Structure 1
Amino acid sequence: MELDIVGLSRLQFALTALYHFLFVPLTLGLSIIIAIMETVYVMTDRPIWRQMTKFWGSLFGINFVLGVATGLTMEFQFGMNWSYYSHYVGDVFGAPLAIEGLMAFFLEATFVGLFFFGWDRMSKVQHLAATWAVAIGSNFSALWILIANGWMQNPVGAVFNPATMRMEIEDFYAVIFNPVAQAKFVHTVSAGYVTAAVFVLGVSAFYLLKGWHVTLAKRSMAVACSFGLLSSLSVVVLGDESGYLATEHQKMKLAAIEGMWETEPAPAAFTAIGFPNQEARETHHVLQIPWALGLISTRSLNTQVSGINDLVAHGKERVRSGIIAYDALQTIRAAKGVDKVAPEVKAAFENHGRDLGYAYLLKRYVDDPRQANEEQIDKAAWDLVPQVAPLFWSFRIMVGLGFFFIALMAAFFWQSATGRLGEPRWLLKVAVLAIPLPWIAAELGWVVAEFGRQPWIIEGVLPTAMAVSSLSVTDLLITIAGFTLFYSVLFVVEVTLMVRAIRKGPEPDDHLAPAPYATLQPAE
């Protein structure tokens, strides 16, 4: 990434987005887990489940507040750092963001207040309804964000208006039910459920190792491993769906993830290990699993998966087609309307307009794409290839962690089913050490999704380099330093509050009779 205005704008948004996403997965998953726990409390009237709900709810509250605070700055960045993007697609992108704001600040915030302050003011069923409203609101809030992001990956239901130079919604139903957005939603929330399950499992394992709050820890662990096993299995299944959709809508991203430079005969093999070399345009020392990529990405044995070189060659043709569209657009703008140009100009724009974004890739090399030479067209086509090595390894680490979570949850589920939770101690230590791993996997997932889309901010429509605001390098360096400092402070606050709450443990509950474990001191 070059440290120019575009590179620094990307860096700033990446830092704030990845930091914000430290809080989102735990919010999504923990809201469901505490709702499950309170449901058991209402059904059984056993006070231990009330105590569990309130304890994990306090940790949810710490995370939720900081998640909301860090999410606010991201929306301001669309106007500050990405003003042309906001102008170009604001009519489409703004709608789901506005709905998400209503979900987050009206639905979630209202019921979060009822959850924390309504225990002695509402009936059990009413409070349970408020808890589930928080869980559903949190997840629906994520839905609208991912609808917006999914549209950036697969821009359906919108058309470009040459009169306004903006994308405009043509079919809002298509935007909402975009298959890429729906796949991203279920995959992302499932990853959030795994994150929360590993967190609850790890904290509970810590309590068991210390001999603290044993009853609460074992019951929490039973919920976490059951919920986590289902969630971790669903992440793998839903990740397969994302791979299938990438074959249809983002072929270059898939080829880069695989480090696959040449198109292979069907069915393509999956590269388990390899060392991509972007300069040499090949991947060295590969270890492949025959047929696996073809089955995952095409769900067939006779459909090819295109390699990077063939996709670049196809990209050159689309750049040339885009130049025709760009030329027609300039004529339309000069005439001040599509209806005021010759039929052949209108036909040229209609036939080639879908490739207009590819002409914009030439703006990096020449002011007027119509003046581009073959060398510049070739460079623009190769710009379609994202950085292969970061994508290649990010994907494989993420997948490896996914299978680790399945094994971890399965092990604890078996211990729970056989009544042996709390042993062996080495397994408890593994659970404690595993607490950070879901966040690593989630962040790598976003690296794959967003880094793999480059050079596009809107796939095939608007290059990232055209979307930025007119800022100076100094402006960006100052704001990056400010965000880094501010977010570092918030991170310290988050960790400190979480650790203190965990070490303090659950509050004494008037409904719960004192138990011997409540007076145990930490083990030496």
Structure 2
Amino acid sequence: MIDFTVVDLSRLQFAATAMYHFIFVPLTLGLSLLMAIMESVYVMTGRDIWRRMTMFWGVLFGINFAMGVATGIVMEFQFGMNWSYYSHYVGDIFGAPLAIEGLMAFFLEATFIGLFFFGWARLSRVAHLTVTWLMALGANFSALWILIANGWMQNPVGAVFNPDTMRMEVTDFMAVLFNPVAQAKFVHTVSAGYVTGAMFIIAISSIYLLRGKHVELAKRSVTVAASFGLAAALSVVVLGDESGYVATEQQKMKIAAMEAMWETEPAPAGFNLFAIPGDGKNSYEVHIPYVLGLITTRSLTTELPGIHDLVDMAEKRIENGIKAFVELDHIRTNPNDAEAREAFKANWHDLGYGLLLKRYRDDIQNATPEEIRKAAEDTIPSVGTLFWSFRVMVALGFYFIAFFAIAFVLASRHRINEHTNHALLKIAVFSLPLPWIAIEAGWIVAEYGRQPWAIEGVLPTFYAASNLTMTDLVISLGFFLTVYTTLLCIMIWLMVRTVKAGPKEPVRPDVDMAQDATILNMQNNG
């Protein structure tokens, strides 16, 4: 029988390392694009302050990127260490995007990061600008391939189960690439990274303005980040709505749990603005009619099923999954049994639901109605966790729109400086951690909301874990948490030290500009 303590520890270890890793990813995405914008202004205007801005934020970007690489590589190894059956079961599909991410996106990004830092005096302005944009493109490519892999876990398209190899295999790689869930997750995730980068720049620049240091660089940085952040914050909300719409098609239980909607309502369903989710019902709720149905289905007539009805549907799929499991056993006994293959082909999509019974007994073909009902109820994720995580994410999303809109209006009117709007600058400083809180809440919704599935409807999480001992996992979990916490502390220390040192200021602006013109002439003549 399955040791669920081992499964829970494996889940905790992967969740901890993934959440640590994603502290670094969004800042990489946001800063890379903002740096490219700043350097573009430098190339177009020739004003040296934009070069110094790019170089200063580039140092902070480099620190963050190095830590992201260190944490990300270890996380990928865990698929083989902690989730070996998962790797066997879906490695044919899941491995391809990860390999492409490592070979193309990561090396593309890493190569151009080296050229970015060491090419200032060796490349022309246009060549170095091209490097910076390619570096930003590489960062986004890296996110794309990871999210294609993750999107397939949410919506496993373009693959079938092969009864001869006992694993999922690709039938349509283009369907995997253009999976609507993956595309929606990609644009939503990178937009959240852009918000993070913009908030980071505004917060650090606000510290400088409050202290009256590096004023010219800080004011220009705020102007760029405010306009970029406003566009990104609006995109996050719009694209988040698209993610919800796609999830309504593919992950109805997740949507119902996010909204604590236990019973199916007449279309269009109402929205729970506030609720206290309980066991099978809400003890208190503030309900707004029609809103949820209009947002998630974009229709007045499409019904959105509640949790209880979805459990009933899962029960029927488990019964079909038992049939698929029985026919699969016949195929393994007699590979030439054409009748068994046809019966399996008709029911294999529900095989994963049948595997949910492995939680209760090994011979699932003999499962009792009570065990089938328990397995169906296991498809309900933690309603309270999803309900509140989603609302934290949404509330912060609308806060970012309001914050960046105010900052954009004031910056465009040149009313943000060391002498005015200290209240907004202080708010910016205290808002620095908020994008990370919103992002981590979003990942809780995405990943915790998929439970009990490692692959939605295909492979239960408990069935995907490696056969490790609790001692192995306690030791490795303690080691990873220690190392990752140390890396996070090092990153914060390096960031604080870099911010305190500030950007390199010219001794005399006229001398600095003359030197810059000389360098430009040498580059053009060389």
Provide the TM-score with structure 2 as the length reference: 0.95
In 2, are the aligned partners of 1:96 and 1:147 still within 8 Å (CA)? yes
Number of aligned residue pairs: give it. Answer: 508
The change in CA–CA distance for 1:57 and 1:511 in structure 2 (over 3 A counts) is farther
| Counterpart code for 2:179 | N
Q: CA deviation at 1:507?
A: 1.7
Identity of aligned residues (%): 62
Moved over 3 A (4+): 508-515
**Residues 4, 473 of structure 1: 8 Å contact kept:** yes
Is the counterpart of residue 309 in structure 1 residue 308 in structure 2? yes
* 1:475-496 C-alpha deviation (Å, 9 max, x unpaired): 0011111111111111110000
Q: 1:154 to 1:171 in 2, by over 3 A?
A: same
Question: 2:360, 2:101 → 1: CA distance?
Answer: 38
Alignment-derived partner of residue 18 in structure 2: 17
Cα distance, 1:272 vs structure 2: 1.1
Correspondence for 1:211: 212
Among 432, 442, 446, the alignment partner of 2:443 is: 446
- SS class of match (2:282): strand
| 1:183-224 CA distance string (max 9 Å, x none) | 000000000000000000111111110001000000000000
* Residue pair 1:205, 1:429 contacting (<8 A) in 2 also: yes
Q: Which of 337, 353, 357 is the matching residue for 1:341?
A: 337
- Change in CA separation of 1:189 and 1:105 when aligned onto 2, cut-off 3 Å: closer
**Paired residues of 2:82 and 2:466 also in contact (CA < 8 A):** yes
User: What is the match of residue 54 of structure 1?
Assistant: 55
Aligned to 1:69: 70
Compared CA separation, residues 331 and 512, structure 1 to 2 (3 A): farther
Query: Structure 2 CA distance, aligned partners of 1:318 and 1:360?
Result: 11
The CA distance in 2 between the partners of 1:432 and 1:74, in whole Å, is 31
Name the CA distance, whole Å, in 2 between partners of 1:245 and 1:214. Answer: 45
Once residues 286 and 376 of structure 1 are traced to their aligned partners in structure 2, the CA distance between those partners, rounded to angstroms, is: 32
Residues 185-334 of structure 1 aligned to structure 2 (within 5 Å): 185-278=186-279, 281-334=280-333
Q: Distance in 1 between matches of 2:66 and 2:107?
A: 14
Q: Does 1:361 align with 2:356?
A: yes
Q: Which residue of 2 aligns with 1:7?
A: 8
Native 8 Å contact 2:234 2:401 kept in 1:
yes
Whole-Å separation in 2 of the counterparts to 1:93 and 1:14 = 18
Contact 1:47–1:511 (CA under 8 A) maintained in structure 2: no
Of 330, 336, 347, the residue aligned with 1:352 is 347
Distance (Å, rounded) in 2 between the aligned partners of 1:218 and 1:290? 45
- Bigger shift: residues 501-510 or 306-315: 501-510
Query: 1:347: Cα distance to partner?
Result: 2.4
- Cα separation, 1, equivalents of 2:208 and 2:469: 51
Equivalent in the alignment of 2:517? none
- SS of the equivalent of 2:160 reads strand
Runs of 5+ unmatched residues, structure 1: 516-524
Q: Is the 8 A contact 1:48 1:512 kept in 2?
A: no
Structure 1 SS opposite 2:157: coil
Q: Secondary structure at the match of 1:275?
A: strand
| Other-structure match for 2:398 | 403
Between the aligned partners of 1:23 and 1:332, the Cα distance in structure 2 is 47
Q: 1:374 to 1:47 in 2, by over 3 A?
A: same
Matched position secondary structure for 2:23: coil
Match of 1:388 among 379, 383, 391: 383
Displacement after TM superposition at 1:512 (Å): 4.5
SS at match of 1:286: strand
Give 1:431's match in structure 2, choosing from 409, 428, 431. Answer: 428
Partner letter of residue 314 of structure 1? M
Displacement of 1:368 after TM fit? 1.2
Q: Pick from 369, 372, 381: which aligns with 1:377?
A: 372
In structure 1, the partner of 2:504 is 507
Task: Report the counterpart of residue 141 of structure 2 in structure 1.
Answer: 140
The reply to whether residue 95 of structure 1 matches residue 96 of structure 2 is: yes
| Structure 2 counterpart of 1:519 | none
The offset of 1:290, in angstroms, is: 2.1
Displacement of 1:289 after TM fit?
A: 2.3
Equivalence for 1:481: 478
1:478 aligned partner, one-letter code = I
Equivalence for 1:421: 416
Contact 2:194–2:229 under 8 Å retained in 1: yes
**Residues 350 and 457 of structure 2 are in contact (CA less than 8 Å); yes or no, is this contact kept in structure 1?**
yes
SS across alignment from 1:21: helix
AA at the equivalent of 2:407: F
Does 2:495 match 1:498? yes
CA-CA distance at 1:454 after TM superposition? 0.2
CA distance in 2 between partners of 1:238 and 1:318 (Å): 32
Helix, strand or coil: the match of 1:23? helix
- What is the CA distance between 1:509 and its match in structure 2? 4.9
**2:106–2:142 Cα contact (<8 Å) kept:** no
Alpha-carbon distance between aligned partners in 1 of 2:508 and 2:19, rounded to the nearest angstrom: 41
CA distance in 1, matches of 2:398, 2:338: 59
Q: CA deviation at 1:510?
A: 7.8
- State the 1:3 CA deviation: 6.6
Structure 1 letter corresponding to 2:305: S
Mapped to 1, the partners of 2:348 and 2:179 lie a distance apart of 21
Closer, same or farther: CA 512–84 of 1 in aligned 2, 3 Å: farther
| Shift, 1:28, TM fit | 0.4
Q: Distance in 2 between matches of 1:377 and 1:508?
A: 70
Q: Equivalent residue of 1:22, what SS?
A: helix
Indicate the RMSD between aligned Cα atoms, in angstroms: 1.2
Matched-pair contact (CA < 8 Å) for 2:106–2:138: no
Deviation for aligned residue 1:346: 2.3
Q: Note the alpha carbon deviations across 1:442-471, whole angstroms, 9 max, x for none.
A: 011100000000000000000001000110
Check the 8 A contact 1:312/1:384 in 2, yes or no.
yes
Retained in 2: the 8 A contact 1:25–1:193? Answer: yes
Tell me, in whole angstroms, the C-alpha distance in 1 between the residues paired with 2:105 and 2:299: 41
What's the TM-score, normalizing by structure 1?
0.95
Residue type at the aligned position of 1:401: L
Deviations 1:325-346 (A, max 9, x none): 00000000111x2xx1042x22
1:458 aligns with 2:458: no
> Does the CA contact (< 8 Å) of 1:386 and 1:453 recur in 2?
yes
SS at match of 1:4: helix
- Retained in 1: the 8 A contact 2:106–2:139? no
Give the AA of the match of 2:388. Answer: W
The alpha carbon displacement at 1:243 in A equals: 0.8
Q: Give the Å deviation of 1:350.
A: 1.4
